[in-house]
Amino acid sequence: MCSAKALPKFKTLKPSYGFDEVAIVPGDVTLNPDQTNTDFTIGEYTFKIPFMASAMDSVVDVKIVKHLHKLGGLAVLNLDGIQARYENPDEILEKIAKLPDSEVTAYMQKVYREPIKEKLIGERVRQIKKAKAIAAISLVPANTKKFAPIVAEAGGDILVIQSTVTSARHISKSYRGLRFAELTEQLKMPVVVGNCVSYNACLELMRTGIAGVLVGVGPGAACTSREVLGIGVPQITATIDCAAARDEFYRESGKYIPIITDGGLRKGGDICKSFAAGTDAVMIGSPIAQTEEAPGRGYHWGMSQISPTLPRGTRIKVGINTTLEKLFFGPTSKTHGTENFVGALKTAMGFCGAATIQEMHNAEMVIAPSIGTEGKIYQMTQGV
Amino acid sequence: MCSAKALPKFKTLKPSYGFDEVAIVPGDVTLNPDQTNTDFTIGEYTFKIPFMASAMDSVVDVKIVKHLHKLGGLAVLNLDGIQARYENPDEILEKIAKLPDSEVTAYMQKVYREPIKEKLIGERVRQIKKAKAIAAISLVPANTKKFAPIVAEAGGDILVIQSTVTSARHISKSYRGLRFAELTEQLKMPVVVGNCVSYNACLELMRTGIAGVLVGVGPGAACTSREVLGIGVPQITATIDCAAARDEFYRESGKYIPIITDGGLRKGGDICKSFAAGTDAVMIGSPIAQTEEAPGRGYHWGMSQISPTLPRGTRIKVGINTTLEKLFFGPTSKTHGTENFVGALKTAMGFCGAATIQEMHNAEMVIAPSIGTEGKIYQMTQGV
Amino acid sequence: MCSAKALPKFKTLKPSYGFDEVAIVPGDVTLNPDQTNTDFTIGEYTFKIPFMASAMDSVVDVKIVKHLHKLGGLAVLNLDGIQARYENPDEILEKIAKLPDSEVTAYMQKVYREPIKEKLIGERVRQIKKAKAIAAISLVPANTKKFAPIVAEAGGDILVIQSTVTSARHISKSYRGLRFAELTEQLKMPVVVGNCVSYNACLELMRTGIAGVLVGVGPGAACTSREVLGIGVPQITATIDCAAARDEFYRESGKYIPIITDGGLRKGGDICKSFAAGTDAVMIGSPIAQTEEAPGRGYHWGMSQISPTLPRGTRIKVGINTTLEKLFFGPTSKTHGTENFVGALKTAMGFCGAATIQEMHNAEMVIAPSIGTEGKIYQMTQGV
Amino acid sequence: MCSAKALPKFKTLKPSYGFDEVAIVPGDVTLNPDQTNTDFTIGEYTFKIPFMASAMDSVVDVKIVKHLHKLGGLAVLNLDGIQARYENPDEILEKIAKLPDSEVTAYMQKVYREPIKEKLIGERVRQIKKAKAIAAISLVPANTKKFAPIVAEAGGDILVIQSTVTSARHISKSYRGLRFAELTEQLKMPVVVGNCVSYNACLELMRTGIAGVLVGVGPGAACTSREVLGIGVPQITATIDCAAARDEFYRESGKYIPIITDGGLRKGGDICKSFAAGTDAVMIGSPIAQTEEAPGRGYHWGMSQISPTLPRGTRIKVGINTTLEKLFFGPTSKTHGTENFVGALKTAMGFCGAATIQEMHNAEMVIAPSIGTEGKIYQMTQGV
């Protein structure tokens, strides 16, 4: 009796937002910053500041791991890169920093062809443990089965398995897909996995028993994953979606698995917005690459750059902006939000009346125009 | 009988708009500008022009207070800054204007470490009252209990309590939170409080018995609060939300408490849009800092810049654009809306058929693209 | 039994669009351009091309009126400006074109203080009629009662009454508001009125018996009305709203009153989009100011610039781009759409399968991003 | 009993999106790139890579046809241009590349006035067939009836009928409209038609029996069709709409007619997004014009540029970026996505868990801000 003609089906697109398109609305209650607590927990480890340093050769070496441990955060050492390929990584890093742009890509492609040494994996872990710092070690999925036991044996505390996009179900011809459920059962240490950006992918990962999820794929319009592959989700939306998955997983399991927004964070404002969007911690790369202590010596590069057939990203001169301590705690005379990240976070939490990171997740946010005109008027009136 | 699976909960973001993203639609009726009335009232004080000058050291000194009083507006003197710390503030201001960029931040951090003198607070108020001008005095919340009685005793007319974000419920370890309800009962003079940007925060403030609310936190994308802390709401949305709170408070109490849009206003267009969005007055800083009479001598800076650990903003060279009188009343030969603010407001009101500020609140507005291309074509065709 | 708490009322903002934010979707049927008809009618006058030249001193003089008449369009002579103040306007125009920027504003303010001569009003009309061209004369509302009879007596064909914003109900102290209903009854000639941008204002104007409505107030983000007063509506939205009023008036009265999009049109694309949005004709200024024949001699300025207290806009060097004939009919070797406007319109109509302007009103349109990146890639790859 | 007043009818505008405004969300499952298949079929011809080269004189000559055939794709030879007008096209192409900008338009207008030679049409087809490559030949609608038989007789495999906008129902005075239904019945070879951008136009074309539809009209904001005519739809929306038409046609007829996104594709990201939006193949011009092998010798131009009365577009210096093989397969040391298009597509498909192009159509997409700020921070912090 009722015959409806099927309507044409058009693909629908969901809006998404990055750091520059949103802002935090101050709360109805306000707190003094000294009454805020920024504790962050992975497995049984609790950190005073919810900051992780990216597992990149230009960002973290053993020295940074120790230093950030003292400051209350967690630096992840990449054992798929220079640190696991060379006895003396500083020699290589020094050369990368010194080569002209025209020669550096070829040199780096050569550097990363050197095989990983199992011996060095254990040694790096032990160097960290000797200083009583927490040893968080990063591996790529393809190497995890082989090297994870070495990390465990050497006393590693946290394993980070990271690639551009990681899903709970990866299908491969060349190696039997890593099963996170099996891995987390076998290993004693908490496993942090990433990156992912969507509700479903995040929820599936959490159901495998992992201890944390890194959030972020091609966050910016100028990101190389976005330019080369078209793939990526702006970080505020990625964080909101994965936070919803975390909350759903908590409802279904009673387990609170932290998410860590990773990628594209440059300023205090980006960091505060990530927490308001729902993250439990942030992972930062380039701001640390810009510290005096960073192994990159004023340069920064990603791992995906190394691909011999499809490089994405390039060695970027980021310069030296500050020290590691000032980056997190100031004092600062800079006014653009590139120092004193912890001070900025605690001030923002105070303005939102949030005593803890979890309370900060409830801060109201607005979509705000990303193009400012402040300052233009001066030039205009000056010119007359 | 009905068991619905809970849907995942995603944080939602509300759109927001600043001056550059909106425009006013002319009305169905139009008026000659000479038939518009721009009166604005705080407590029992009525001002011919709805303009306040920001309580900033580069914007207002005693001289500006007197001058703006004659012109029909209200300048607020900041007694948390140089005026209350130094017997002879002009000496300090002169030096700030003369120092090179490289030395000025350090010098200013030193200048603002000098303690506030209670004696000077009374003296500044008396200087204003001697000229029979209205003495509106600004204090920060932490100093209010201590200094407000001195202001009152010296004959102050209006008290302005201002910080980056002010809420009716502030929680602090170091001092017992200021209770506005207690304060407004004790003091005889009207108390204006700010800043806030949301419906609830504004409504709660109004319920404490205060006489006006300053609206504006991190209004622009390039605002330092936005960059450093991620906090801020574009001014049109902030004004619309606080105007709704004012109207709600009027419905529930019968009292009409004015709101004052404060921050980011540079041009006549910004000002007219603020009134169309619902403000009762505007507070302007940099346009006054650009007058010949301003204490900043062509420079402008905010109070939050002075923080020794987390400075936001910097001393900006704004130059001298006009005189105080021309700024408000013209005549002008400038065509960018940086002079004759009152003329612009009355003309816009006429185009909207608004005889009063309250009628201007009813003007229709549109969301309009902020990127103009006018002018581009000339370059194009010229180049061929 | 039912007591609902009133919800807070927030002002709502309607989205609006300008030329750069929209595009036309080609039709399911296509036509050869030679099968399109672009006739446009005001009162009893029909024009082969739906183009009017703006009543501005830099755009139209008697010579342009005659020339555009021959080409099939209609140029409106401004008799509130130089043409009605000076016996020999070319002398004045020559001097405006030659003065340096620093002196021109003062000179122009002086030029426009010279009183209007009634004798010259009649003379200009007669000059046009002698050439058998249609005499469309523009007056400002305040002068209409006084000068319209002179225009009529001299044989004027169409009266254009134009100011920044014109409403059917203007309230003024200094002169009794012009009543369009009375005027259209008294005058024999069709009266075109403007400018307006909203449905209601346009509908009210049409109900007074006028013969056409000019659409456009502060169309662009960089428009001076927008910067100085905050007033303006992007042209596509203004045209859509006024077209809806025209259609409504046609439904209620059976009379089809044309609307004319006026302001901000620079390229063929802008013009075609205006017709797709619903306009019956376009009024263009700067593209004509850029022709060899234009009285502006490569310069362009608006009437609102002349205000001694609140100037908006400035003399702009637009240069000489083409001739009047090529502007409308080509041929052109320019590829940016700044010549052959009629060819562009007919081609676009063909792509939309529109045989007439009225059919073009039905073309589908999309909101399309205004920021293009085409061309960027070249620089990128060239630089490597 | 019920009399509703008709509401005013406002034209509505549908949002649309281009490459820069969207991004692909990675899937819940991921695949190794080596497990993806990118086959693409027109009629009975299947191609290993879903890439077609645009039928433009600067992009395709016989040499490119053969070369791209070997690489697994399909280059379309334009027989409405230089290849069909000159015995020795290289001579002409060489001269176009060498002339200065000031002389080239006039020269090209002359070059394209030379008549098409029927003899050359057959000869070009035979040159391709001699190399056992697939001969896809492009004609304009007006020449199709006359030249299609020659193409068929010479052994052409695929006919491409292409103009700026092509509809199933074109009305013309000068020639009886081409009927695709008749043509596809008469011709033995598959006919690919374009361009179109909307659901209805695409569906109507498919119903005429054609074998493929080219999608794309004025895709970018800076496109000349958009600037000159206001006509155009951003490619993601055009692709989504035409993909819906293809799926609808498949439901009603059981025939799967491929669509090919054509125009504006520059980077790997653009290509991957086109497939996620629903295309079956992409047609690229400028990236091929930038190869060493391209007939344009580092220059690129469109056919619509040649119009003597309304040229759109111009000769652009695009430079030499890569080789044809590297463009599709790498290896590359470029990091902006301008080489290794097939590698990029397979990697993106893997990240989306898509084993085939049809599965890639199901990838989730987001609307993502097109303005990135990455990199800005460096300049900021370096400058301090």
Confidence (pLDDT) at D310: 61
Token pair in block for residue B373: 């291309």
Number of Cα atoms under 13 Å in the Cβ half of residue A204: 18
Is the CB of C356 inside 8 Å of chain D's CB atoms? no
Question: Chain D closest CA to C246's CA: distance in Å?
Answer: 10
> Does D10 fall in a domain?
no
Kindly tell me if the per-residue pLDDT of A174 is higher than 70: no
Query: What pLDDT, on the 0 to 100 scale, is given for residue B5?
Result: 63
Does the residue C381 lie in any domain? no
pLDDT band for position D11 (cuts 50, 70, 90): very high
Give a yes or no: residue D1 inside a domain: no
Antiparallel, parallel or unpaired: β A299-300 and A316-317: antiparallel
Q: Are B371 and C370 in contact (CB under 8 A)?
A: yes
Q: What is the pLDDT of residue D5?
A: 63
Ordered alpha helix ranges (H), D195-234: 199-206, 224-229
Helices (H) and strands (E) in chain D, counts: 16, 17
Which of A181, A189, A120, A194 has the alpha carbon at shortest distance from A156?
Answer: A189
| Site from C10, C12, C13, C237 to mutate, B interface, most B CB atoms within 10 angstroms | C13
Q: What string of pLDDT tens digits covers the 384 residues of chain C? A: 444 566 788 999 999 999 999 999 999 999 999 999 999 999 999 999 999 999 999 999 999 999 999 999 999 999 999 999 999 999 999 999 999 988 888 888 889 889 999 999 999 999 999 999 999 999 999 899 999 999 999 999 999 999 999 998 888 776 666 789 889 989 989 999 999 999 999 999 999 999 999 999 988 776 778 889 999 999 999 999 999 999 999 999 999 999 999 999 999 999 999 999 999 999 999 999 999 999 999 999 886 655 656 555 578 899 999 999 999 998 877 767 888 999 999 999 999 999 999 999 999 999 998 764 433 333 322 222
Nearest to D28 among A11, A14, A167 (CB): A167
Q: What are the start-end ranges of the E strands in chain B? A: 14-15, 22-24, 29-31, 40-42, 45-47, 51-53, 74-78, 136-139, 158-162, 169-171, 191-196, 212-215, 259-262, 281-284, 299-300, 316-317, 365-367
Q: Spell out which residues of chain A touch residue B337, defining contact as CB-CB under 8 Å.
A: none
- Through-space distance between the first and last CA atoms of chain A, rounded to whole angstroms: 75
Q: Which of residues 136-165 of B touch A (CB under 8 A)?
A: 164-165
Cβ B279 vs Cβ B247: under 8 Å: no
Whether B245 is in a domain gets the answer yes
Q: Kindly report the backbone phi and psi dihedral angles of residue C240, in degrees, each rounded to the nearest multiple of 5, phi listed first.
A: -60, -45
Interface test with B, best of A16, A20, A29, A30 (most B CBs within 10 A): A30
How far is A265 from A267, CA to CA, in rounded Å?
6
Q: A292: domain range?
A: 19-383
CA distance linking residue C381 with residue D321, whole number of Å: 6
Residue D46: what pLDDT? Answer: 98
Specify the residue for token string 């697994």: D72
Using a CB-CB cut-off of 8 Å, the residues of chain A touching B264 are 374
- CB < 8 Å to B327, chain C: none
pLDDT at residue number B302:
79
Higher pLDDT, B4 or D342: D342
Alpha-carbon radius of gyration of chain C: 21
Measured CA distances, A74 to A77, A310, A322, B374, D193 (Å) = 10, 31, 19, 51, 59
Contact D248 A321 (CB under 8 A): no
CB of B333 within 8 A of CB of C105? Answer: yes
- Confidence class for position A376, pLDDT limits 50, 70, 90: very low
Q: Collect all residues of chain D within an 8 Å Cβ-Cβ radius of residue C370.
A: 221
Instruction: State whether residue B304 sits within 8 Å of chain A by CB.
Output: no
Nearest CA in chain A to D15: A13
How many Å lie between the alpha carbon of D31 and the closest alpha carbon of chain A?
A: 5
The two structure tokens encoding residue C156 = 């004027």
Q: List, as one string, the DSSP characters of B264-275.
A: ---SHHHHHHHH
Residue D356 domain-assigned (yes or no): yes
D202 pLDDT band, cuts 50/70/90, is very high
Q: Indicate the pLDDT class of residue B171, thresholds 50, 70 and 90.
A: confident
**pLDDT at site D307:** 63
Q: Is B234 on the interface with A (CB under 8 A)?
A: yes
B365: chain C residues, CB-CB within 8 Å: 11, 13-14
pLDDT in the model for residue B307: 62
Q: Which residues of B touch C370 (CB under 8 A)?
A: 369, 371, 373
Please name the chains neighbouring A, where neighbouring means 3+ C-beta pairs under 8 angstroms: B, D
D-chain residues within 8 Å CB-CB of C273? 230
In this prediction, residue B194 has a pLDDT band, given cuts at 50, 70 and 90, of very high
Closest chain D residue by Cα to residue A18: D369
Structural tokens at position D163: 């103009």
How does pLDDT run across B17-72, given as a tens digit for each residue?
999 999 999 999 999 999 999 999 999 999 999 999 999 999 999 999 999 999 99
Find, in chain D, the residue whose alpha carbon is nearest to that of A339.
Answer: D381
Q: D368–A166: do the CB atoms touch at under 8 Å?
A: no
Cβ of B28 within 8 Å of Cβ of C198? The answer is yes
Please tell me the predicted confidence (pLDDT) of residue C109.
82
State whether residue A298 sits within 8 Å of chain B by CB.
Answer: no
Asked if D204 and C277 come within 8 Å (Cβ–Cβ), the reply is: no
Task: Compare D87 and D303 and report the one with higher pLDDT.
Answer: D87
**pLDDT of amino acid A377:** 32
Does residue D220 have a pLDDT over 50? yes
D166 token code pair? 């092509």
Task: For residue A35, give the nearest of B164, B171, B197 by CB distance.
Answer: B171
Rg of chain D, C-alpha, whole Å: 21
| pLDDT tier, A381 (very low <50, low <70, confident <90, very high otherwise) | very low
Q: What is the pLDDT of residues B338-365, one digit of tens each?
A: 889 999 999 999 999 999 999 999 999 9
Q: What is the pTM of this model?
A: 0.93
Tell me how close the Cα of A136 comes to any Cα of chain B, in angstroms.
29
CB of C238 within 8 A of CB of C165? no
Say if C13 falls within a structural domain.
no
Contacts of C313 in chain B (CB under 8 A): 335
Q: How far apart are CA C313 and CA C162, in angstroms?
A: 17
Q: Do B165 and A31 touch (CB under 8 A)?
A: no
Two structure tokens written together for B90 = 């002009």
Average pLDDT over residues A99-113: 87
Interface test with A, best of B208, B310, B323, B335 (most A CBs within 10 A): B310
Q: Considering its fold, how many domains does chain D have in total?
A: 1
pLDDT at B172: 77
Of A230, A305, A321, the CB nearest to D23: A230
CATH code, domain carrying B234: 3.20.20.70
Tens of pLDDT, residue by residue over A283-329, are 999 999 999 999 999 999 876 655 656 555 578 899 999 999 999 99
List, for residues B258-309, the tens digit of each pLDDT value. 999 999 999 999 999 999 999 999 999 999 999 999 999 999 987 665 565 6
Most confident of B146-155, B326-335, D364-373: B146-155
Q: What does DSSP say about strands C14-15 and D169-171: parallel, antiparallel, or unpaired?
A: unpaired
Nearest to C311 among B22, B333, B380 (CB): B333
pLDDT at residue D169 in the model: 86
d(CA C65, CA A151): 87
Say whether residue C33 is in contact with chain D using an 8 A CB cutoff.
no
pLDDT digits over B369-381, tens only? Answer: 876 443 333 332 2
Output the pLDDT for position D76.
98
Would you say the ipTM is above 0.90?
A: yes
In a domain, C379, yes or no: no
